[in-house]
Amino acid sequence: MIATFQGLLVAVLALLPGAAYTFALERVTTGYGVSFSDRLVRFLAASALMHAVLAVGEYWVYRYLIVERRLVNGTASPWLLEILAIGYVLAPIAVGSVIGWGHRNHKRWGKLLVGAAVEPRAWDYLWRHADRAIVRIKLKSGIWLAGYYGTSRDGRSAYASSHPEEGDLYLPLSYTIDPDSGMLSRDEKNLPVPVPGETGLLVRWTEIEYIDIKEP
């Protein structure tokens, strides 16, 4: 149990790199509903790893500022303190963001560092790997819908909610489809025909019976 303010401050500073790294990573990959205890383990593991990697630099800073009493005497450059403070916060955020980007974009090193499949459901795994797709959906009512998973020409992007939320799916562009047979209407270039005036589709997982996904 931490009994003093100084002890609490040291504990917070020790965990700060791991916390910043984890929050940056989950901002890119999403946290998939991990609990506080899970995050605490990540904080501790990430902080321990970063302190181990930076042990020599931390020892040098300790000797320069504390042992040589430059911090107490005011002889340390304020710009050095500013750079150290900013780097202490931004460096873990940058590392977490880069690793999250690598995992999200299916880089081999990203999978190695984070894991091949951290998603708890096939729904989350599917939409993380689907960059662009033509999606046909059969509802439990028997009606077929179709749309484009990607970014539309006017800048709207598709979105699939992740765990622990329900599996909602937004497609920014809807296609003309036979509601009974599920056959897509196509133009003279064999491309799906957008529904005139439609802004997209919003479908709940609980309403879906079947999904067919094809890359364009």
The two structure tokens encoding residue 110: 């990203």
Element (H, E) at 160: strand 159-160
pLDDT in tens, 98-157: 988 887 777 888 777 776 666 777 888 788 777 889 999 999 999 999 999 999 888 889
For domain 122-214, the CATH class is mainly beta
Domain spans in the chain, listed from the N-terminal domain onward: 5-114, 122-214
> How long, in residues, is the chain?
216
pLDDT tens-place string over residues 17-33: 888 888 888 777 765 55
- The one-letter amino acid code at 89 reads V
Round to whole Å and give the CA distance between 204 and 166.
Answer: 8
Peptide bond before residue 179 is cis, with ω within 30 degrees of 0: no
pTM beyond 0.75, yes or no: no
Compute the distance between CA of residue 171 and CA of residue 164 in angstroms, rounded to an integer.
Answer: 20
Lowest mean pLDDT among 41-45, 53-57, 89-93: 41-45
